Structures are given as structure tokens and as C-alpha cells.
Amino acid sequence: MPDDAAAAVVSGALAPEWLALPDDPNDLAPGVWPASAHRDADGALVIAGIPAPELVRTFGTPVLVLDEDEARDRARRTLRAFGDAAARHGGRARVYYAGKAFLSTEVARWMIDAGLNVDVCSAGELAVALAAGVPASRIGFHGNNKRVFELERAVEVGVGTIIVDSDIEIERLAAITERLDRRQTVLVRVNSGVHAETHHFLATAHEDQKFGFTLEAAERAVERIHELELVDFAGLHCHIGSQIFGTAGFRESASRVLELHARLLEQERFTATGADGSVEPVLNLGGGFGIAYTRADTPTPIAELADGIVDAVADECAVRGIPLPVLAFEPGRSIIGTPGVTLYEVGTTKSVQVDTGSAVAERRYVSVDGGMSDNARPALYGAQYSARLASREGVEGPVLSRVVGLHCESGDVVVDHEYLPGDVTPGDLLAVPATGAYCAPLASNYNHVPRPPVVAVTGGTARIIVRGERIEDLLARDAGIDTGSAVAEGEE
Ligand code: LLP
């Protein structure tokens, strides 16, 4: 340790390379926040016309705030981007909103209003979509282990497309469609061997993962489907990963999948028909379009992404002399991620000094009243987020901070690295942007912490779209409370 330790304390020494020291630790990085986000005259964060302190007075903390216009706008823009890109090649595109990113009846309705379809992957998600009034024909049903009752339900209600994932599932569907005497359209999920994550993609002969068929196995699966009376084959499906920037991975994957698609056309395997009764081959390339969690993330704008992917598919089709299939996409995060902002209250702060050998580095821990129970992504994936004071602007300069939750676990991190104003103090509100996707759906009750409400905001008004839990909700599940359990009685 240096002799004069106090003088040698360096605030930013523990900062990762990607985190730039901001001129103003109160600024709102463009692209990371909903477009409506700004600060009012008091310095408070405003979302969709409502200051954060007002939202918190009404709904408490933590609260997940969804900017409704931002979500609807992203949905519309996504559909337009892919629709326009396909139209330039004389084709058509469909967009399925991936409900796993966040699903409630309200959000499902926003998506349907915007012209999207909805992709679900469990009986629960299917129930939400149906409760929202989503026409069954506009639902796609995913999953590597759809249970028999789920497949039955899907066929019974007339789900538009089931994306089949295994030979066993094909046999189950064969039996179910016969038993119910109903036709069912399917896509076959293939594992193209391409896996993309953010800036890189990996292309292997076979990917070692649970989803889909290898390209060879898919050809045999389609042959089997062809034998089935009541199962119509619409095309292939492929999802290469999540939080993807750029189009290279999609291009590589589409190229591989189209080779099989072309062979299946030759074999006349496509039997599902479109609205006009003619056979309508589909190619579904999944979702995975990346968003900005921090200012270091620079996602490709959706229109550019759509053009790049669709042009690549059209090129590959031209090379093979085949018509452009109806293209389908399944974005979740890129639609609902950025509209979400989580508001927390700061409870405690403390500074920790770390001797790095050459200097004493300092990190400030800012504890908030939520954590891995409302956002598991940092703990699960090492995901990076950003944060800003939401109740006011700080007056002191930037201090390297780590925002942590209240759970009894040291991995309970909300924002790993962020520069926050030096005067962050208990009672301040803190906002974490880009929490609309894969936060509420992955929420837990760890440490018996109730899950927060989800509030939609638009044009200066706010309403609860998913109510928060109370401790009573958690106690209600405990069979030893209320009823006076048999064990307790027996012991008396
Ligand atoms: N289609 C399929 C078949 C998928 O498996 C997924 C995501 C999507 C579409 C939507 O992907 P998106 O556009 O939202 O990236 N929990 C992880 C992400 C898991 C994604 C699972 N599948 C996370 O929080 O990063």
C-alpha cells in the first residue's frame, strides 16, 4: 500500500474499460432510456410525462415502469421495417412478439394492435395471450418439452403454428390431431449450428444444445410430418441467440437453413396454405435483436437490421433460384426491453477500499430495496446495466458505484459498474433503464421478497398492469398457515 493511502485513493480504478467517466453523472444516455425520458425543472426523471417521485408516491418501490408508447412504437417500427424490407423483394414478413421477454394481457394487446402476432412457450403464456383476446390463429407455440396437455390445448384452441422440436413431439401431435380430428400447421425448429451472442457468432457443424433438430434430422422429421394426415408443414424455424448486434450471424444461419428449405421445396413437402388457399412456405428466423443496456452498447437500428437480414435471405434465395418464403421474426427484448425502467429507493451506501497493489481503489456500494428477485440477469448472466438518480440530480461529481440489492447473497448485484453522483444518499430514488425484458418474467420470491408491480405509463397517466405481491400473497402459499396443519394439530 502506498505511504499516503488517503491521497492515493482512486475512485475509477476499479472501472471496466467499457465504462467511460461521464461529464455529468445525471445525464440520460440516448438509446438506453425510453425516448420520453427527461429531467424536469426539479431535476427529477420523467417518463411518459410522469415524474418518478409521483410514480413512487402512488405505487411504491420497487416498481417496473413500462412506457406504453415506446413499446407500441417499437412494435410498429419492427413490423414496418421487416414488412418494407420483404416488400422490396416482392415478399411478406410477419412479426411474432416473443412473450417470454414480458407477457401480460395489456402488453399482448399492444402487440396485436400494432399488427404483431404473439409467440408463447408454455400453457401459462398461452393462457395469458388467449385471455388478452389474441386470436389463436396469431399465436406461435414454442418449447422443447411441450407437455401433452399443452399440445392438446394448443390444437384445441386453434393455435396458428406449433414449432415442433423433437421426433417425440411429432408423434404426440399426430395422435392429438387424430384424436381431436383437427388440422395443425407446424414449423420444424432447426439448429443451424450458428450461435450468436452480441458482437460475435459461432458457427459449428452441430451446436450442443437442447433446442431443435440438426439440419439432417430436420429433413427426416419433415418427411415424417408429410405422412401425417392432419399435420401441415409450413416451413423451418431457427433462433440463433440473444442480444445480437449486426446481421452476420443471421446471414450465415439463413444460408444454411435455406439449403434445406430449397431441398424441401423440391420434395414438395410444404403443405400449409395461406389465406388464398395456395401453399405458403414460411421461414422463421427467430428473434434476438440487441438493445442498449449501457451507453457502451450500440445496437443496429431495427430498419437497418431488417434490411440486412432480408436482403441476405433474398440473395440466398436468388442463388438457389427459389422464391422468397414468407419471413417471420420473433423479437422480444428489442420491443419491450427499452420501454422498461425500474425505480428503487436507496437504503444504505458504503464505500469499500480495495488495494490493487499500485493504488487504493474505492468503490461505493449503493443498496436498493430490490435486487436479484426483480432482476436476476446480472446474477444469472453477468448482465450489465446502468443507473441514474431519479428523484433529483446529484450535485457532486461521478463516483464509481455498484448498485446492489437487499438479498442475502453477495452476487445480488443490480448494476455492477456505474458512475453515480457522489452525494447519492438514503431516500434517493434510483432508476435502472432497459429492464422491460427478462426481468419481471425471471423474478422470484427469494428471501420472501414480494414481486413488484408493473405500471404502464402513457401521456401523463399511469396504471397498474400487473399488481405487486404482498407478504400475505406469499404467506397464502404456506400450507402451515391459516388452516392449522395436521402436523401442528397432531403435535399438540
Ligand atoms: N424466439 C425464440 C425461439 C427464443 O428462444 C427467444 C428467446 C426469442 C425468440 C426472443 O429473443 P429476444 O428477441 O428477446 O432476444 N433470459 C435471457 C434471454 C433468453 C432468451 C430465450 N429465448 C436474457 O435475459 O438475456
In tens, the pLDDT along 139-158 reads: 999 999 999 999 999 999 99
Superfamily of domain 3-61+340-435+441-471: Lyase, Ornithine Decarboxylase; Chain A, domain 1 (2.40.37.10)
How remote is the CA of residue 99 from the centroid of ligand 1, in Å?
9
How remote is the CA of residue 467 from the centroid of ligand 1, in Å?
24
Residue 337 Cβ inside 6 Å of ligand 1? The answer reads: no
Backbone φ and ψ of 310, nearest 5°: -65, -40
Average pLDDT over residues 470-481: 94
Q: Whose CA is nearest to atom 16 of ligand 1?
A: 438
Residue 452 Cβ inside 6 Å of ligand 1? The answer reads: no
Residue 299 Cβ inside 6 Å of ligand 1? The answer reads: no
Q: Which residue has the higher pLDDT, 6 or 93?
A: 93
The Cβ of residue 255 has, within 10 Å, a number of other Cβ atoms equal to 17
What burial class does residue 65 get, using C-beta atoms within 10 Å of its C-beta: 0-12 exposed, 13-18 middle, 19+ buried? buried
Q: Which residue has the higher pLDDT, 483 or 128?
A: 128
Q: Whose CA is nearest to atom 18 of ligand 1?
A: 242
H-helix or E-strand containing 289? none
Global pTM reads 0.95
Average pLDDT over residues 370-399: 97
Q: Is the pLDDT of residue 3 over 80?
A: no
The Cβ of residue 31 has, within 10 Å, a number of other Cβ atoms equal to 17
Q: Which residue has the cell 450471424?
A: 249
Average pLDDT over residues 289-309: 96
Pocket perturbation via mutation, ligand 1, pick of 242, 245, 374, 384 by most ligand atoms within 8 A of CB: 242
How remote is the CA of residue 241 from the centroid of ligand 1, in Å?
7
Distance set, CA 72 to CA 121, 150, 287, 465 (Å):
22, 29, 17, 15
Average pLDDT over residues 375-394: 97
Provide DSSP, 178-220: HHHT--EEEEEEB--SEEEEETEEEE-SS--SSSSB-HHHHHH
Percent of the chain with pLDDT over 70: 96
How remote is the CA of residue 379 from the centroid of ligand 1, in Å?
17
Q: Is the pLDDT of residue 6 over 70?
A: no
Q: Is the pLDDT of residue 198 over 80?
A: no
Residue 142 Cβ inside 6 Å of ligand 1? The answer reads: yes
In the prediction, which pLDDT does 489 show? 45
Residue 242 Cβ inside 6 Å of ligand 1? The answer reads: yes
Provide DSSP, 374-390: T--HHHHH------EES
Residue 245 Cβ inside 6 Å of ligand 1? The answer reads: no
Residue 254 CA from chain centroid, whole number? 22
The full set of domain ranges for the chain reads 3-61+340-435+441-471, 68-336
Pocket perturbation via mutation, ligand 1, pick of 329, 330, 435 by most ligand atoms within 8 A of CB: 330
CA distance 82 to 94: 8
In the prediction, which pLDDT does 125 show? 98
Q: Whose CA is nearest to atom 8 of ligand 1?
A: 287
Q: Is the pLDDT of residue 443 over 80?
A: yes
Q: Is the pLDDT of residue 290 over 50?
A: yes
Q: In the structure, what pLDDT confidence band is assigned to residue 482 with cuts at 50, 70 and 90? A: low
Q: Is the pLDDT of residue 205 over 80?
A: no
In the prediction, which pLDDT does 483 show? 56
Could you tell me the maximum CA-CA distance found in the chain, to the nearest angstrom?
83
CATH class of 68-336: alpha beta
For the ranges 28-32, 206-210, 244-248, which has the lowest average pLDDT? Answer: 206-210
In the prediction, which pLDDT does 7 show? 43
Q: Whose CA is nearest to atom 5 of ligand 1?
A: 239
CA distance 377 to 335: 18
Residue 290 Cβ inside 6 Å of ligand 1? The answer reads: no
In the prediction, which pLDDT does 135 show? 98
3-state SS class at 239: coil
In the prediction, which pLDDT does 199 show? 73
How remote is the CA of residue 280 from the centroid of ligand 1, in Å?
26
Contact (CB, 8 A) for 469 and 450 = yes
Residue 98 Cβ inside 6 Å of ligand 1? The answer reads: yes
In the prediction, which pLDDT does 21 show? 95
In the prediction, which pLDDT does 13 show? 86
Of 431, 438, 338, give the one whose Cα is nearest residue 388.
431
In the prediction, which pLDDT does 8 show? 54
Task: Name the grid cell of 101.
Answer: 421477454
Distance set, CA 346 to CA 14, 47, 51, 224, 334 (Å):
22, 19, 17, 58, 29
3-state SS class at 267: coil
How remote is the CA of residue 271 from the centroid of ligand 1, in Å?
28
Residue 210 Cβ inside 6 Å of ligand 1? The answer reads: no
With b for 16 or more beta-carbon neighbours within 10 A and e for fewer, the 37-59 pattern comes to bebeeeebbbbbbbbbbebbeeb
Going by the DSSP 8-state scheme, the letter that residue 370 receives in this structure is -
Q: Is the pLDDT of residue 486 over 60?
A: no
In the prediction, which pLDDT does 5 show? 41
Catalytic residue numbers read 408
Average pLDDT over residues 250-254: 94
Average pLDDT over residues 129-148: 98
Q: Whose CA is nearest to atom 17 of ligand 1?
A: 438
Residue 37 Cβ inside 6 Å of ligand 1? The answer reads: no
